[in-house]
Amino acid sequence: MVPVKQGEAAPKFETLSAGKAVRVTFPDRIDTIILQSDPGTVQIDEQKTSAASALLLKRGGKMQIVNFD
């Protein structure tokens, strides 16, 4: 569930990496949530992580990955 203000477009959801990630596309940004129970490397948009959980933030032309373990 992703809250939006009245009148805003609802975000689009897309499953990636064989179900290990969900991309949420907003009008002004893209958030990709990575959750994996088995160790391994996941590559999304040329960004790699082997963390069990991570967040890939894309704002304009800038991309940042935040690992949580």
Residue 16 lies in a domain: yes
The pTM of the whole model exceeds 0.75: yes
- At 68 the three-state DSSP class reads coil
Q: Is residue 21 domain-resident? A: yes
Identify the domain containing residue 27 by its residue range. Answer: 10-38
pLDDT of residue 4: 84
Asked if residue 22 belongs to a domain, the reply is yes
* Predicted pLDDT of residue 11: 94
Domain count, the chain: 1
Residue 17: the pLDDT is 92
Establish if 65 belongs to a structural domain: no
Q: What are the 10-residue block averages of pLDDT along the chain, 69 residues in total?
A: 86 94 93 90 91 94 91
